[in-house]
Structure 1
Amino acid sequence: MTETTRSGLSRRSLGTALGAGAVALAAPGGARAQTPTTLRWWSPQTAPAQREAYNFQIRTFEEANPGVRVVFEATSDEGYPAQMAAAFASGQVPSVVTHLPHFAVATYWQNGLLEPFNDVINMIGTSNFYEGANRIYEITPGQFAGTGIGNSAANMMWLRRDLMQRANIAEAPRTWDQLRDACRRMQGGGVFGAPLPYARNSMTSLIFICFVHGAGGSIFTPDLQVNVDNDAFRNALEFYKSMRELCPPGATNYSWGESLTAFVAGATATGIYTGRVLANVAAQNPRIADSVTCARYPTISTNVAPWTFNDFPSVMIPKVAPNMALAKRFAAHLFRADGYIRQLHAAPGHVLPVLKTISAMPQYQENALIQKYRAEVDLMSESAAAGHNLGWESTRHRPNTAAGRIIASHVLAEAVQRYVINNEPMAAVVSTTAQRLEALMRG
């Protein structure tokens, strides 16, 4: 990793400028650039509190860089693959993209579409990151495809102590049998047991991958051979089907927003989501706030360790983005303490800091929700730090740069629908899924 950026500024001088809140765009000879320059920032994370934090970060960057305008443009969790494909095809790419999952970044990097992120990591300061935080982005040795804007523990199991107490459930379920039993005992009176998704979308694919790992399996072997024709994959399908009766009727159309809302609104006794639950409960359903807690999601047996899905929300820069030096400065600016903490506090526990220097700051720690749910935030932080996703299923696995393509294909969500909704034979579903995965791996 080089210590000097392409712009010729040293890491130390850039770090000092970032810390002071000023990295101004200067024309040759020291005169300020007169022609307005526009940077485009894309992200699928667009909740009102997050937009407010983004506006602060944009304003402070523009103030430090007269003549520069930053425009925020919303993408979506389900729609970004098509939006990014169109941008790359047309050459009209954004300057900076944040909050896409790591496996999407890996795919774009493999296709030669991204600028190396080494300069930005140096600007932020390599020693400020948690140890190993960027290892997942080092797809090419010595080069980084991006970095994380945060960590996430996307498949935490959310519970309500009041409903557990009413159902005489003393502890959080640890196994699938215990989960199913708990959901049945808490279901009733308009409350369903769980908000699992069964739609043809990325949430269903991603959550089902968690259940495959919860069965002791994986989608691919460590050397990236398809690994679904086995008992673990079949057990995951069988259990997922058994949970359908404990989910709301509308779960056949659920994506992330609907699943989150079901738990927050009190329509389900358990939830499966990141720490955004905390902010949404506080704002939308405070009557249950004192009862909400979380645990790692159950697995098939106590012999199988929990597997946390961390999509490693990212920051990346397209290779053909205009005004590259300025785009890199803006990407680094997103990690300046005042703005970064505002982002994290927009949904405390949802996106967790990747910078150890930020985690230690009183300004971060003193947030009311982080204080109230200290145990839950600590558990999510610990779980996310050890988390994985389809692009890196375990520490033994090679990086899978086809993961983004696989998720976008919905092949795993379709396996769920075929077996659970259409009642197709298990053997046919597994065989077709394996064949389709093999074809996707071939490109």
Structure 2
Amino acid sequence: MRIGMRIRSIAAGALLAGLMSGTASAQQVVRFLHNETDPPSIAFFNNAIKAFEAENPGVKIEMEAISTDGRLQKVMSSITTKTMPDLFKLLPEERFEFARKGYLVELDDVLKSIGEQDYVPGALVKVSGKTYDLPYTLGNFSVFWNRADLLKAKGLETPKNWDELKSAAAALTAGDQFGFVFPAGKNRMTSVYLSQMIWAAGGTYFDKDLNVTFNNPGTVKALQFLKDMAKFSPPGISSYSYSEMINSYLTGKIGLDIYAPRLAANAFSNAPDVFAKTNGAPVPAGPSGVGVKFVNSNSFAVASAAVGAKNIEGAKKFLQYLITGDRLRDFSMTAYPHLVPPLKSVQDKVVEAGAKELGGRQELARLAFDTSNSLDFDSEAGAVVKDGKVVKSGVINPYIGSIVARGIPAAVVQRVVLEGEDPAKAAAWGHDQMKRVVDELKKN
């Protein structure tokens, strides 16, 4: 009898193990890649994943957070090896190429469920009328952060144009104190920075007919300006990217910094003395008469099976959960006022929730949420400044993503700032490099 009981016990145990194994094998594992690596953002994602998994026991989320520059390398290598994460952060300039090559899954069903009318104008960009990525925040890289105490000590007003900016930077540079900072590493942030300078000087990469126009007076003026400003910037800018634009300012050794609102959020949390002396202002106007902002949607996309995605439906379900309602509000609050929610229904909630943030300094939030007179890589083709405002051509550029991914704009900056090349010569070189890329893309 004991033997029989033991046999039944073994059989029951085997059956239970089999059932557990079957349950485990049936569970969808969604791999999720992003570049929001700040501790509050990581805490948000961990909490959101825990809540989602509790509501959806058949889906498990495996998250990987990586730097912005590391994300680019990871995505490109994963595409090559067909091991792409199911859900991943997509850069705007990757959208057209990835969609065209079949790397992405259409998300029109998710968009319909959320409600297209709830998105702020310009937040959604479609490819041939179809949706391939959905934004979770708008990134404004163009707030003019300045040390009010240092300017006052020199008897200077807040600079309103490039000439005043250059003079103020010179006055604030002495010893280990620097008047200005900008990125000059071979990375995407340097390309972003150069772009807003080109636009403020009246130039664009492309015209409305999608001809390369990089070699123009605006580009030359922008490069000359950066070459001049390098004299008032830290010597390490040759490797600067996103984080260095903040970290260098938080040391207290930088007087003027044009960067995203995350700088204020990090200063408030990590360098309160610097934050207390910091003011925000609109970006100084360039030769066009306008300070043009770089504002783009930060979005998530679902990879296709063609590049190795395995759990597409689970990824879509988690995506919708992540970028709507209380999750979008809570994420936007992790670096207030840096993360501008793209849903109109959530923006008011964020402003209300942020009333007590940043020591009550709501003027900084208003600057962060002001996305007027802005362009991004997709929309800059043929844009002009008219009557003090940026006017877009309405043309969406399918080519510029490949140019930025190859680091051509950043290489142009390095040729001028680090190697001392004449700006006009560097602009001509960059133009030729870009045209070769576009010509090749058009052939294919």
Residues in 1 aligned to 2:106 and 2:289: alpha-carbon distance in whole angstroms: 37
Q: Please state how far the C-alpha of 1:262 moved relative to its aligned partner.
A: 0.9
- Verify the 8 A CA contact 1:202 1:408 in the aligned structure 2: yes
The corresponding residue for 2:174 is 188
Q: Please state how far the C-alpha of 1:342 moved relative to its aligned partner.
A: 2.1
Q: Over residues 105-155 of structure 1, what are the superposed CA-to-partner deviations in whole Å (9 max), with x where a residue is unaligned?
A: 233123221111211112222233224431xx21212x1121211111112
Residues in 2 aligned to 1:127 and 1:228: alpha-carbon distance in whole angstroms: 35
Classify the secondary structure of the residue corresponding to 1:70.
Answer: strand
The corresponding residue for 2:433 is 436
Residues in 2 aligned to 1:230 and 1:386: alpha-carbon distance in whole angstroms: 21
The corresponding residue for 2:53 is 62
Residues in 2 aligned to 1:132 and 1:401: alpha-carbon distance in whole angstroms: 16
The corresponding residue for 1:312 is 297
Residues in 2 aligned to 1:322 and 1:361: alpha-carbon distance in whole angstroms: 35
Residue 116 in structure 1 maps to residue 116 in structure 2? no
Q: Please state how far the C-alpha of 1:427 moved relative to its aligned partner.
A: 4.2
User: Which amino acid in structure 2 is aligned with residue 63 of structure 1?
Assistant: A
Residue 152 in structure 1 maps to residue 149 in structure 2? no
Residues in 2 aligned to 1:238 and 1:363: alpha-carbon distance in whole angstroms: 39
Residue 361 in structure 1 maps to residue 349 in structure 2? yes
The corresponding residue for 1:177 is 163
Residue 205 in structure 1 maps to residue 196 in structure 2? no
Classify the secondary structure of the residue corresponding to 2:294.
Answer: coil
Classify the secondary structure of the residue corresponding to 1:269.
Answer: strand
Q: Over residues 68-108 of structure 1, what are the superposed CA-to-partner deviations in whole Å (9 max), with x where a residue is unaligned?
A: 2101112321132331122222222212113x432222331
Residues in 2 aligned to 1:438 and 1:336: alpha-carbon distance in whole angstroms: 40
Classify the secondary structure of the residue corresponding to 2:221.
Answer: helix
Pick the structure with greater CA Rg.
2
1:111 to 1:371, Cα distance in 2 relative to 1, 3 A = farther
- Matched residue pairs, number? 406
Residues in 1 aligned to 2:350 and 2:76: alpha-carbon distance in whole angstroms: 41
Larger deviation: 158-167 or 123-132? 123-132
- Verify the 8 A CA contact 2:59 2:314 in the aligned structure 1: no
Larger deviation: 123-132 or 351-360? 123-132
Equivalent residue runs for 1:131-150 within 5 Å: 131-134=121-124, 137-141=125-129, 143-150=130-137
Residues in 2 aligned to 1:192 and 1:410: alpha-carbon distance in whole angstroms: 27
Larger deviation: 245-254 or 117-126? 117-126
Classify the secondary structure of the residue corresponding to 1:194.
Answer: strand
Q: Please state how far the C-alpha of 1:403 moved relative to its aligned partner.
A: 2.2
Residues in 2 aligned to 1:355 and 1:203: alpha-carbon distance in whole angstroms: 26
Q: Over residues 323-380 of structure 1, what are the superposed CA-to-partner deviations in whole Å (9 max), with x where a residue is unaligned?
A: 3222111100012333222211111122211111111227853453267231221122
Classify the secondary structure of the residue corresponding to 2:33.
Answer: strand
Q: Please state how far the C-alpha of 1:204 moved relative to its aligned partner.
A: 1.4
User: Which amino acid in structure 1 is aligned with residue 408 of structure 2?
Assistant: V
1:238 to 1:277, Cα distance in 2 relative to 1, 3 A = same
Residues in 1 aligned to 2:149 and 2:220: alpha-carbon distance in whole angstroms: 34
Classify the secondary structure of the residue corresponding to 1:150.
Answer: strand
Classify the secondary structure of the residue corresponding to 2:32.
Answer: strand
- Verify the 8 A CA contact 1:50 1:346 in the aligned structure 2: yes
Classify the secondary structure of the residue corresponding to 1:193.
Answer: strand
The corresponding residue for 2:388 is none
Equivalent residue runs for 1:234-253 within 5 Å: 234-253=220-239
TM (norm. structure 1) is 0.86
- Verify the 8 A CA contact 1:56 1:339 in the aligned structure 2: no
- Verify the 8 A CA contact 1:279 1:348 in the aligned structure 2: yes
Residue 128 in structure 1 maps to residue 118 in structure 2? yes
User: Which amino acid in structure 2 is aligned with residue 403 of structure 1?
Assistant: I
Q: Please state how far the C-alpha of 1:415 moved relative to its aligned partner.
A: 1.4
Q: Please state how far the C-alpha of 1:425 moved relative to its aligned partner.
A: 3.5
Residues in 2 aligned to 1:229 and 1:152: alpha-carbon distance in whole angstroms: 27
User: Which of 67, 72, 85 is 1:76 aligned to?
Assistant: 67
1:315 to 1:370, Cα distance in 2 relative to 1, 3 A = farther
The corresponding residue for 1:390 is 377
Q: Please state how far the C-alpha of 1:60 moved relative to its aligned partner.
A: 1.0
The corresponding residue for 2:154 is 167
Classify the secondary structure of the residue corresponding to 2:265.
Answer: helix
Residue 400 in structure 1 maps to residue 397 in structure 2? yes
Residue 410 in structure 1 maps to residue 403 in structure 2? no
Query: Where does structure 2 lack aligned partners over 5 or more consecutive residues?
Result: 1-22, 384-391
- Verify the 8 A CA contact 1:157 1:294 in the aligned structure 2: yes
- Verify the 8 A CA contact 1:124 1:335 in the aligned structure 2: no
Q: Over residues 370-403 of structure 1, what are the superposed CA-to-partner deviations in whole Å (9 max), with x where a residue is unaligned?
A: 67231221122122x5532122114205212222
Residues in 1 aligned to 2:69 and 2:350: alpha-carbon distance in whole angstroms: 36
User: Which of 218, 243, 249 is 1:263 aligned to?
Assistant: 249
1:296 to 1:108, Cα distance in 2 relative to 1, 3 A = farther
Classify the secondary structure of the residue corresponding to 1:223.
Answer: coil
Larger deviation: 251-260 or 400-409? 400-409
- Verify the 8 A CA contact 2:302 2:315 in the aligned structure 1: yes
Compare the two structures and name the one with the higher strand fraction: 2
**What percentage of residue pairs aligned between the two structures are identical?**
24
User: Which amino acid in structure 2 is aligned with residue 95 of structure 1?
Assistant: D
The corresponding residue for 2:261 is 275
Q: Over residues 261-290 of structure 1, what are the superposed CA-to-partner deviations in whole Å (9 max), with x where a residue is unaligned?
A: 111221210112211112211121101222
Residues in 2 aligned to 1:287 and 1:348: alpha-carbon distance in whole angstroms: 18
Q: Please state how far the C-alpha of 1:33 moved relative to its aligned partner.
A: 8.9
Residues in 2 aligned to 1:426 and 1:178: alpha-carbon distance in whole angstroms: 21
Q: Over residues 9-52 of structure 1, what are the superposed CA-to-partner deviations in whole Å (9 max), with x where a residue is unaligned?
A: xxxxxxxxxxxxxxxxxxxxxxx997222111110111111000
